[in-house]
Amino acid sequence: MAIDYRERIPNNVDLSGNRRLQRALESWQPNYLRWWDELGPAGTQRDDVYLRTAISVETDGWANFDYVKMPDYRWGIFLSKPQAGRTIPFGDHKGEPVWQEVPGEYRSALHRLIVTQGDTEPASVEQQRHLGKTCPSLYDLRNLFQINVEEGRHLWAMVYLLHAYFGRDGREEADEMLERHSGDPDRPRILGAFNEPTPHWLSYLMFTYFTDRDGKYQLASLAESGFDPLARTCQFMLTEEAHHMFVGETGIMRVLQRTCEVMDELQTDDPERLRAAGVIDVPTLQRFVNFHFSVSLDLFGQERSTNAANYFTTGLKGRYHETRIDDDHRLTEALWPVHRLQDNRIVCEDGPALLALNERLRDDYIVDSQRGVNRWNRVLEQHGSDMRLELPHRAFHRAIGEFADVHVSPDGRLLTEAEWHQGADDWLPTDADHAFVNTLMQPVTEPGKMASWIGPPSRGINGQSIDFEYVKFR
């Protein structure tokens, strides 16, 4: 399964054995590079960045580190190794051999899933394109660029599937991926969170913690798919995704560490004094947690979804770690608790598990999100602070699903319009919060130095020291 880097499009799918597909992808490639040039990281295309590049999809040694100019990054097509004898793990086709071609009757559903997944990847690169100008350190800048090139590669992964398996429709969709843009009023990205701006590094760290984690859960569900090429490409994408969430989790931890140091020094938790000292106070961090968590919860779709039920029954999209779950993998009789509105109250009631698959994935996501929050809180605890960060209630600030039309407080109380307006500035980042955070966004580009508002990482990348020159400017 070695990756052939002599090819114009590095791959482990024997692209040269299918000249038509190879030519089609080679004709998409310049459009991709043009998009990267116009909407990828701004003003940094000539810099040398210490990046990792996949050299094989084996678990030992798929990463190779070296200085690369981003436009020269070898974006390619990498699928995990096929599993001999793999069968469809769930739904009506459970136990049948996995599909190597798209079953005609499921073509449009699969197409839709792949397009939705693919659309998020370039969207996040667009959202983050100006951050390089205000990096808090070279270490962070390098991590941003690593994430950006990998999101670009994830787009390649979905574009490969569209080109290889969906004929002309697929080729048109692949072109559309470069024509919709994050936040574009006429041609926005498909899912809400990918049209929100990522205006500064605090938003970016929250995004990589909360929104990339949606990516983990969605990719893990697609990695169970009966359509084997989709499953295999998502399996490999997941190995890259882990680093993105690491950046978010350790990033927020470093922000908290720095805040705690200054709280200790000044013996205060007064937001104004902390802000004056150049760090981000805990209530502000909480408002950003509230925003990014709630926006990411929307990405799981409706609580009760016939789309999700159909994806499952037809074997296209499974549950998180489907094969490790001990049940019949068909869910025709099973129940699952779902939060919903009833008589002006939020209740949690059992309903058909098949309809509740989005909610179930959201449940898994919430548990996982809480783990990192607990780790962040340990930093506060170690510094003797009583303050804690919390995930807001799942019904808070939702735009999709059961709670889209009601106002709910972070602790899960239904509110009147007036109560909501009274509380919103305490619960969600205000313009003033953004303006303050933006004042901190002064670039720090001396190797080993960190901005005032963030602590150093505990170690460097690939065994390098923290003061290694992770990006060389040209």
Nearer Cβ to ligand BYC, position 288 or 453?
288
Secondary structure class of 276 (helix, strand, coil): helix
Using the CB atoms, write b or e for 78-96: b if 16+ within 10 Å. Answer: bbbeeeeeeebbbbebeee
Residues that bind ligand BYC (CB under 6 A): 113, 116-117, 120-121, 124, 151, 191-192, 211-212, 214-215, 218, 298-302, 305, 307-308, 317, 358, 400
Q: Which is nearer to ligand BYC, 400 or 415 (CB)?
A: 400
Shortest CB 467 distance to ligand BYC, Å? 29
Instruction: Please give the backbone phi and psi of residue 207, each rounded to the nearest 5 degrees, phi first.
Output: -60, -45
Q: Which C-beta is closer to ligand BYC: that of 53 or that of 218?
A: 218
Q: Decide: 60 and 153 in contact? Cβ < 8 Å.
A: no
CB of 409 to ligand BYC, least distance (A): 22
- Which of 117, 409 has the CB closer to ligand BYC? 117
Minimum Å gap between C-beta 404 and ligand BYC is: 10
Backbone angles phi, psi at 331, to 5 degrees: 65, 25
Q: In the complex with ligand BYC, which residue's Cβ is closer, 47 or 151?
A: 151
Q: How far is the CB of 19 from ligand BYC (least distance, A)?
A: 31
- Tell me the CA distances in angstroms from 347 to 135, 327, 343, 391, 419, one per residue in order: 44, 26, 9, 19, 21
CB nearer to ligand BYC: give 110 or 253.
Answer: 110
Who contacts 23 (Cβ-Cβ below 8 Å, separation ≥6)?
Answer: none
How many Cβ atoms are within 10 Å of 37's Cβ, its own excluded?
11
Pairing of strands 471-472, 335-342: unpaired
CB of 186 to ligand BYC, least distance (A): 17
| End-to-end CA separation in angstroms for the chain | 36
How many helices (H) and strands (E) in the chain? 13, 7
Question: Please, what is the minimum distance in Å from the beta carbon of residue 152 to ligand BYC?
Answer: 10
CA dist 429 to 53, 116, 195, 283, Å? 36, 28, 17, 10
Nearest C-alpha neighbor of 131 from the set 29, 50, 199: 199
CB of 45 to ligand BYC, least distance (A): 21
* Nearer CB in complex with ligand BYC: 147/461: 147
